Amino acid sequence: MKKQMNYLILLLMTILMVGCTNVEDESIIDEETINTVVDEPVVEETPTRSNNELFSGYKLIEVDGGDLSGYREPNVVVDIGYGDREYWAFTNEYGQLVRIIADEIILQDDENEPVLSSGRYYSDEAKVPGVESDVLDEGHIIADSLGGVSNAYNITPQDSTLNRHGDQAYIEDAIRKAGGAANFEAIITYPNTETQIPSSYQYTYTLMGKEIVDTFENVNPDEVNESLGLTGSEPSNSTSSNTNGDISSVDTNGNGQVTIKEAKEAGFSMPITSDHWLYPYMHDADKDGMVGE
């Protein structure tokens, strides 16, 4: 009887030990499982704006930067930035170039890019209908010096004086001097749906942290000023009442440069000559010592 009791006690102890071992193992497994779940990193997705969203409603096509054809497809978007630049041009349903945008304007790199002696990437520009006029240039929206190509998606027929000496030339010069620009947008407006000759332009861009908006008509600025009686017969001289270099009252957009329009609105007669205190703050495109002649 005593021997049977010993066997019974031994059996109970064995069962108890096996049970404890299982519980301990389960505890270890549960703890390892919990640690595995806790240690697993959580990956958060960052929403980004894709080109598909940006180009919604437009067909993305490729056009050679030196294509001389003046034809534009309707409702398309084209990259008109030279090399790896991304400058996006948009047309409307009539094939009119209506908008160009760029997150960053990157200046031409004549040391590492195949730039011609003329300072251009290509020897000629697209023949958009209207550029055959004697008074209209093949005007770049984004100039070669700013990294723009010369196909029809970057060219509009633009008044020659405006393009070479007016607001268009001033904008290009200001961006060059600043070493580039950000958040660039050009809006091109037309008088009707049948012409490729714009009636006006609006440029918005950021220079050194300051947003600039410049709107102007596609006309000869000198002729307009003359018709308004704003062009004097005698050149301005250095006897102006302000000779201390303070341009705050003239430089209305505060970008450190004075346009012909700003100078005239401030009461100065054209041309501004090299001995005038305003001259260093203005763009003399032909380097002849006079601005606004």
Helix (H) or strand (E) holding 177: helix 167-178
Above pLDDT 70, what percent of the chain? 74
- Average pLDDT of the segment spanning 198-218: 96
Q: Which of 4-13, 60-69, 197-206 has the lowest mean pLDDT?
A: 4-13
Span 265-288, average pLDDT: 77
Task: Compute how many other C-beta atoms are within 10 angstroms of the C-beta atom of residue 258.
Answer: 24
SS3 assignment, position 107: coil
236 by Cβ neighbours in 10 Å (0-12 / 13-18 / 19+) ranks as: buried
Question: Distances from the Cα of 118 to the Cαs of 9, 37, 110, 186, 289, in angstroms?
Answer: 107, 66, 11, 25, 23
List, in order of start, the domains of the chain with CATH numbers. Answer: 51-219 (3.40.570.10), 220-293 (no CATH)
For the segment 135-159, what is each residue's pLDDT rounded down to a tens digit? 999 999 999 999 999 999 999 999 9
CB 172 within 8 A of CB 142: no
Q: Which residue has the higher pLDDT, 266 or 67?
A: 67
Residue 61 CA to residue 22 CA, distance in Å, equals 68
Locus of tokens 């006897």: 239
**Span 105-119, pLDDT tens digits:** 999 999 999 999 888
Rounded to 5°, the CA angle 190-89-130 comes to 40
Alpha-carbon distance 192 to 198, whole Å?
9
* pTM exceeds cut of 0.85: no
